[in-house]
Amino acid sequence: MDPSDRYCFSPILRWNPEVENYFIKAYGADHFSVISKALTRPSSYSCVRVNTLKSTSDAVIEKLLKIIKEKGFDGDCHGKEGSEPDENLGSPLEESLKKSPIVKCQIPGLEYVLFVKGSGPHVIDYGYVPGAPPKEVIVSRKCAEAVLRGAQVFVPGVLACSAHVEKGDTIAVSVAIEQRNPNGGWASGMTRGTVLQGLQTDPYYFERNGLYIGQGTTTMSRAGLFRASEGIAVDMNDRVFRLPSFYDVLEGEIFLQNLPSIVAAHALDPQKGERILDMCAAPGGKTTAIAILMKDAGELVAIDRSHNKAQVIQKLAFEMSLTCITTYKLDALKAIRQRNETDDINTNQSSNSLRFHDEKASSSTTEGFNSDKTCKDNVSNAIEDGGDLC
């Protein structure tokens, strides 16, 4: 392989042969190959839920179209145009997205869901010169997945970096996919802070062939990057897949959320005045969806075992002006006592009420949230750390 060929995005899924044979029989070789390829790519659109207590789908579409027009297609990417033709287009949604970059969900009752078009894969010139490989960082898989959905590279996601990287350097970003370890688990197995030379002796050099997800500008030096515990490490200029970034966009009016999570809240059909418990709630995607469906009237108890994540729920509820949510930092497994349990905690509560053994996450009427930097960083880190779009 020519060394320059590795700086591209062409992942190949490796299946357990038995599973692969099963699927080939079930789907046919051609269909299975299309499915297998699609599984290596991010979604071709983003899904956004509108806070109908604050706005309407039409108003949000209008505002987003204006933002997209002002900022360019995907907010902060200005790479070369030109992408591979996408052989998977053809569903009614994708056909609609060809006509307009933002469309309303056509499922009755879900008109508050919007789809925003993305594009890719794009070809990126990493500036490879024989004998002078580009400076690069390796990021975790979760970080890479977020980047391919419009996020920046945050500090905790960086695993390794070239030597002599300074703030403002152009840098290629690749991903270290987890490998199976001897204990049967999966891990990248890379020590954070590893120095890359751009040589075949670099960790996962061959495994990273075709796993370059974009190019950006470093916001700090190599030393700073591994000293810092939070913040943006690489400001992405170009990604192989481009989806609009919704970071700080129409805060409180919209929430980026996968359709199945939205449908889960919708299927629950929560009603005004009900009392609902969300036991693994952070970052609060379903919690806030439920609260909005309840018209913010009733009681929604949201718990998460992580203190920082519980704060993230509070921040989101505050942004969305939802007052029916009460947040607790609490392990769900220890959350509820049997009626006849005889420990001495909360003995003054009625026997059939839920009894919380842990503390309420600090003040839920927090005026401080707007300017609370820690909370904002917690959101970034929670996203970085959790990676899931819930």
Ligand X SMILES: C[S@@+](CC[C@H](N)C(=O)[O-])C[C@H]1O[C@@H](n2cnc3c(N)ncnc32)[C@H](O)[C@@H]1O
Binding residues for S-adenosyl-L-methionine: 280-286, 304, 331
149 binds ligand X (CB under 6 A): no
Q: Are 288 and 312 in contact (CB under 8 A)?
A: no
Task: Give me the 236-275 binding string for ligand X, x by CB under 6 A, dash otherwise.
Answer: -------------------------x--------------
Minimum Å distance from CB 380 to ligand X? 15
Quick one: which of 188, 219, 285, 379 contacts ligand X (CB under 6 A)?
Answer: 285
List Cβ neighbours of 336 (8 Å cut-off, separation of 6 or more). Answer: 354, 355
307-319 vs 373-386: helix crossing angle, rounded to 10: 110
Minimum Å distance from CB 332 to ligand X? 3
Task: Fill in the DSSP letter of residue 10.
Answer: -
Give dist(CA 128, CA 134) in Å, integer: 6
388 binds ligand X (CB under 6 A): yes
**Nearer residue to ligand X within complex by CB, 11 or 252:** 252
Total binding residues toward ligand X, as defined by CB under 6 A:
18
- DSSP codes, 299-362: EEEEEES-HHHHHHHHHHHHHTT--SEEEEE--GGGS---TT----TTTTS-TTS----SPBPS
**Nearer residue to ligand X within complex by CB, 8 or 332:** 332
Write the burial class of residue 70 (CB in 10 Å: 0-12 exposed, 13-18 middle, 19+ buried): exposed
Give dist(CA 127, CA 240) in Å, integer: 15
Give the distance between the most distant pair of CA atoms in the chain.
Answer: 74
6 binds ligand X (CB under 6 A): no
Minimum Å distance from CB 381 to ligand X? 12
Q: Which of the stretches 1-9, 59-67, 173-181, 327-335 binds ligand X when contact is defined by CB under 6 A?
A: 327-335
**Nearer residue to ligand X within complex by CB, 139 or 265:** 265
Minimum Å distance from CB 180 to ligand X? 23
358 binds ligand X (CB under 6 A): no
**Nearer residue to ligand X within complex by CB, 236 or 282:** 282
Quick one: which of 50, 139, 158, 282 contacts ligand X (CB under 6 A)?
Answer: 282
Annotated binding-site members: 280-286, 304, 331
Q: Supply angle C-alpha 81, 82, 87, rounded to 5.
A: 140
198 binds ligand X (CB under 6 A): no
Quick one: which of 182, 191, 333, 348 contacts ligand X (CB under 6 A)?
Answer: 333
Q: Where on the chain is the footprint of ligand X (CB under 6 A)?
A: 261, 280-286, 303-306, 309, 331-333, 388, 390
